[in-house]
């Protein structure tokens, strides 16, 4: 059974370009990832999609909560941005983490 590995933004971009544009990935990357199941976290995905509605919403929510002196943890802002960009309410067991975001359009169930 192959081992797993989480790739960062640089590696994800390199592999994407190699597959899409038929560029060559560095030998060190190919060697390190040979026979591994690859995973990508939300951060490289967010960086790759910069400018899409979720990334724009993330920036809006982050700025709004920090501007009020009530910053929210990055991952919670990503979750809220995913919900608000798609017109969805969010469900959480940690309401206090998300309540500052309700002032900026997040619906909580």
Q: Indicate whether 107 belongs to any domain.
A: no
What are the tokens at 92? 């959480």
Q: Indicate whether 9 belongs to any domain.
A: yes
Structural domain boundaries, residue 84: 53-102
Count of structural domains, the chain? 2
Residues 36 and 76 in one domain: no
How far apart CA 57 and CA 85 sit, in angstroms, is 6
- Look at the pTM and tell me if it is higher than 0.75: no
List the pLDDT tens digit at each of the 109 positions of the chain.
Answer: 578 888 888 888 888 888 878 888 888 888 888 888 888 877 777 777 766 888 889 889 999 998 888 889 988 999 899 899 989 999 998 899 999 999 999 999 8
Q: Indicate whether 109 belongs to any domain.
A: no
User: Burial letters for 59-95: b for 16+ Cβ neighbours within 10 Å, e otherwise?
Assistant: ebbbebbeeeeeebeeebbbbbbbbbbeeeebebeee
Nearest Cα to Cα of residue 104 among 76, 63, 75:
63
């Amino acid at each position: 059974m192959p081992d797993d590995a989480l790739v960062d933004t640089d590696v994800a971009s390199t592999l994407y370009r190699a597959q899409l544009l038929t560029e060559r990935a560095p030998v060190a990357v190919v060697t390190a990832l040979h026979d591994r199941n690859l995973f990508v976290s939300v951060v490289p995905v967010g960086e790759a999609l910069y400018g899409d509605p979720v990334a724009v919403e993330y920036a809006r929510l982050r700025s709004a909560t920090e501007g009020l002196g009530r910053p929210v943890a990055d991952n919670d802002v990503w979750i809220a941005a995913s919900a608000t960009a798609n017109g969805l309410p969010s469900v959480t067991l940690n309401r206090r983490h998300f309540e500052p975001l309700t002032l900026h359009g997040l619906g909580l169930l």
